[in-house]
Chains A and B, each alone.
Chain A
Amino acid sequence: MKILIIEDEKDMLQNMQETLVKENYLVETASDLNAAISKVGVYDYDCILLDINLPDGSGMEILNFLKENEKTEGVIIVSARNSVDDRITGLNTGADDYIAKPFHMAELNARVKALLRRKKFDGSELLKIGNISIDTEKHIAQTGYGEMELNRKEFDILTYLATNQNRLVSKSALAEHVWGDHIDQADSFEFIYSQIKNLRKKLKDVRAEVEIKAVYGIGYKLTLT
């Protein structure tokens, strides 16, 4: 799985690279428009993370370049400018997703995985972890012992933790992903705990071979048992 990160901010680039390398992706980087275009022209990628504001031009040009050359890379726009304009123009020009800075590394990972799944680059639309398979399109999670009866939030938590398998997912990242941005600052996310508790019980019911661990009291980690 090959991913290209186009980002001019060195530290940001490094963070994203490190995160994705941990997921065993082959990650290449470009820090300006010229380098990006020459890379995109020569190689094929599965996913491109694209910063719109580049020192020598707009990232939109990459989108146009891909379109003109009929390339099928999945593109996620990464922009510090959380502006509606950027999002709409980007998505209209052929980007598949949009993520606004600042974002959690877990969120970046989830977005990349979701995109790859949608594009079927993984060979399957199903997210598999241990003996669970999760169909994110149909909202079904099951093991050989049966289907889990999950409400929307439980399903989202499971999917999110599963895409970030073995990684620490902070409560704020989880809350932002599942409950939305506006839930921020609400009571240190204590309310997440009851959902996790229910989810754990339901995982046990279908004898899932995974475990949701609380880490340092600040987040959760899903691991195989």
Chain B
Amino acid sequence: MKLLNYTSKYFAFLLFFVLTGWAVIFYFQMLDEIYDSMDDGLENQKMLVIRNSKQQDAINIKPEFGDGYYTLYSISERSALGFKDSYRDTLMYMQNEKDYEPVRLLESVFKKGDEYYKVKIITSMVEEDDLIEDLLFSIIWLYLGLIFSIIILNNLILKKVWNPFYKLIGNLRKFKIENDTEIELPDSKIEEFNILNENIQTLISKSVKSYRSQKQFIENASHELQTPIAISINKLELLLEDNGLEESQANRIISVIENLERLSRFNQSLLLLSKIENKQFPNVDEINFNELTQSIVADFEDLLIHRNIEIEIESIDELNFSINPDLAQILLTNLIKNAILHNADSGKIKIRITSGKWQISNPGKIALIEKDLFARFQKVKDNSHSSGLGLAISRAIAELYQLELSYTFGDAHIFKIDFPQHK
């Protein structure tokens, strides 16, 4: 949920309860006030009627309301004694409304001479249901109006206020440390945002700096290692050519050479990896992956015969993609070589090429863990010749071109490259 909507949601909740509570209190207070003023009016009229009656010689008995607002009749002394003024609500038939409507009624008793009289005074009253209805509608309109205003306010003002924050988020989302670009943070009038920006800026430039120096270090280290390794291998090769070496001596030299070659390959893989990540393979060609697969498999022909492995290529569609030719070659070679080297029981390797998909499957029994597979230096224990960088390199190449390289396990290990639809 977005920040703006989030606050709006809370406002909506809060306003709902506040307004409801307010409406209830308001309703009762208003009602109380209305009753109060009506009762005052009735009291006044009562006093007028009683005074009027007392001034006249004969009591004007009036048993029905008729066209007036009061009744007046005599009652027995017994029922008059102890009677106190009482207000109550009752219904009365109204000519205009043609219905019973609530009225306020005041009953009172007074004495003239020896006679007791009861007087009833009415006044028409608020229709409570109408009042409630009106009030409810007003409240609903007020509520909607407030919510609407808050949303508008949020969207106009808060959005403006939070603008630097959203810009920051946008920039952070686009930021990739590998791209070697600094992040641009706009100045804000709001202090907190400036502090946030400053801190992020510092954090990022620190990360970029350490990323760069780390990259530089790997590059320099592998680059500087190349020459001494090459010299050592060459010296040993020359030494081997000397006649008069005993076989055991020669074997030791060879073992050293082999290890140096391993070191050299490993070093080259590291260099390659950092070159890929530094995007140092700018030239791009339209590569036909069907042909490329054929040619790589052909290169492995002798190894395949030697290991008694068969590779079946199922070219269903033509697969063309714009990519650096060397990297395309490395990408597929690593995957194919991986399948060959980890093919334990002379199983059949299948390569399937459809439009937008390149897939290699290699029979196996136990699923491997995907995240470990593509990690660097992930070694299979029985293969000391492997640098553990092959699949990491393939993945780096895939990521460079927004290809999706994934591993799944059915009854075989399946490595799949998904090509984006646009070329």
Binding site for B on A (CB under 8 A): 9, 11-12, 15-16, 18-19, 22, 80-84, 101-106, 153, 167-168, 170, 172-173, 179-180, 182-188, 190-192, 194-195, 215-219
**Centre residue among A11, A180, A182, A217 by max chain B CB count within 10 A:** A182
Q: Please name the 8 residue pairs, one residue from A and one from B, whose CB atoms are nearest each other, closest first.
A: A102-B230, A191-B306, A185-B385, A15-B234, A216-B250, A11-B231, A191-B302, A218-B254
Q: How far is the CA of A182 from the CA of B295 in the complex (A)?
A: 13
* Total residues of chain B contacting the partner, CB 8 A: 46
Known: A179-B299, A184-B265. A105 touches B237 (CB 8 A): yes
Which chain B residues in 205-264 approach chain A with CB under 8 Å? 223, 226-227, 229-231, 233-235, 237-238, 240-241, 247, 250-251, 254, 257-258, 261-262, 264
B230, A12: Cβ atoms closer than 8 Å? yes
Contact A170 B237 (CB under 8 A): yes
With contact pairs A101-B226, A102-B226, A187-B307 given, residues A84 and B281 touching in the complex (Cβ less than 8 Å) = yes
Name B233's contact: one of A81, A102, A184, A215 (CB within 8 Å): A102
Interface majority SS on B: helix, strand, loop or mixed? helix
Contact of B305 among A82, A105, A194 (CB under 8 A): A194
Given known A81-B223, A195-B302, contact A102–B229 (CB-CB < 8 A): yes
Q: Taking CB as reference atom, which chain A residue is nearest B224?
A: A80
Given contacts A11-B231, A186-B337, contact A216 B386 (CB under 8 A): no
Please report the C-alpha to C-alpha distance between residue A195 and residue B55 in the assembled complex, in whole angstroms: 145
| Chain A residues closer than 8 Å to B240, beta-carbon distance | 168, 170, 216, 219
Please, how many angstroms separate the alpha-carbon atoms of A172 and B237 in the complex? Answer: 12
Asked if B30 CB lies within 8 Å of chain A CBs, one says no
Q: Residues of B contacting A84 with CB < 8 Å?
A: 281, 283, 326
A185 to B261, CA, bound (A): 9
Which residues of A have CB within 8 Å of B296? 182
**B241 and A167 within 8 A (CB):** yes
Determine whether B341 belongs to the interface, using a CB cutoff of 8 Å to chain A: yes
Q: Does B340 contact A (CB under 8 A)?
A: yes
Task: Please name all residues of chain B whose beta carbon is closer than 8 Å to the beta carbon of A15 when the two chains form the complex.
Answer: 231, 234-235, 238
B303 at the interface (CB under 8 A from A): yes
A80 CB contacts on chain B under 8 angstroms? 223, 226-227, 230
Contact of A104 among B233, B235, B254, B281 (CB under 8 A): B233
Q: List 14 A-B contacts (CB under 8 A).
A: A11-B231, A16-B234, A18-B238, A82-B268, A84-B281, A101-B227, A102-B226, A168-B240, A168-B241, A170-B240, A185-B262, A186-B341, A191-B303, A191-B307
- Which residues of the other chain, B, contact A192 by a CB distance below 8 angstroms? 302
CA distance A216 to B299 in the complex (A): 27
Q: Which residues of A contact B386 (CB under 8 A)?
A: 185
Q: Is B333 engaged at the interface, CB distance under 8 Å to the other chain? A: yes
State whether A19 and B238 are in contact (beta carbons under 8 Å apart), knowing that A179-B302, A180-B299, A182-B337 are contacts in the complex: yes
Whether B230 contacts A101 by the Cβ 8 Å rule is: yes
Min Cβ gap A196→B in Å is: 11
Contact B303 A187 (CB under 8 A): yes
A161 to B259, CA, bound (A): 24
Q: Are B302 and A194 closer than 8 Å at their CB atoms?
A: yes
In the bound assembly, the distance between CA atoms of A185 and B240 in angstroms comes to: 21
Among B235, B262, B271, B303, contact of A186 (Cβ-Cβ < 8 Å): B303
Query: CB distance A216 to B254 under 8 Å?
Result: yes
User: Given A12-B227, A19-B238, A102-B229, A183–B305 Cβ distance below 8 Å?
Assistant: no
Taking CB atoms, residues of chain A closer than 8 Å to B409 are none
Q: CB-nearest residue of chain A relative to B261?
A: A172
- Which residues of A sit under 8 angstroms from B287, Cβ to Cβ? none
What residues of chain A lie closer than 8 Å to B302, measured between beta carbons?
153, 179, 191-192, 194-195
Is B204's CB within 8 Å of the partner chain A?
no
Q: Which residue of chain B is the closest to A221 with respect to CB atoms? A: B241
> Whole-angstrom distance from the CB of A24 to the nearest CB of chain B?
15
Confirm or deny: B330 has a beta carbon within 8 angstroms of a beta carbon on chain A: yes
In this complex, the member of B231, B265, B305 whose beta carbon has the largest number of chain A beta carbons within 10 angstroms is: B231
A168 to B245, CA, bound (A): 13
Q: Which of B235, B241, B299 is the one whose CB lies under 8 Å from A11?
A: B235
- Given A106-B237, A186-B300, 18 new contacts (CB under 8 A): A11-B235, A15-B235, A22-B241, A102-B229, A103-B230, A105-B234, A179-B302, A182-B330, A184-B265, A185-B386, A186-B337, A186-B385, A187-B303, A191-B302, A194-B302, A194-B305, A215-B250, A217-B251
Decide: A191 and B305 in contact? CB cutoff 8 A: yes
With CB as the reference atom, state the residue of chain A lying closest to B254: A218
Residue pair B223, A216 in contact (C-beta under 8 Å)? no
Question: Which residues of A lie under 8 Å from residue B268 when comparing CB positions?
Answer: 82
Q: Evaluate contact between B257 and A170: CB separation under 8 angstroms.
A: yes
Alpha-carbon distance between A89 and B333 when the two chains are bound, in angstroms: 27
Residues in B with CB closer than 8 Å to A191 are: 302-303, 305-307
Query: Which residues on A sit within 8 Å (CB–CB) of B333?
Result: 182
- In the complex, A215 Cα to B340 Cα: how many Å? 28
Determine which of A22, A183, A216 lies in contact with B251 in the assembled complex, contact meaning CB atoms within 8 Å. Answer: A216
Residues of B within 8 A of A216 (CB): 240, 247, 250-251, 254
A80–B223 CA distance with the chains assembled, in angstroms = 8
CB nearest to A179 among chain B residues: B299
Complex Cα distance A191/B254, Å? Answer: 19
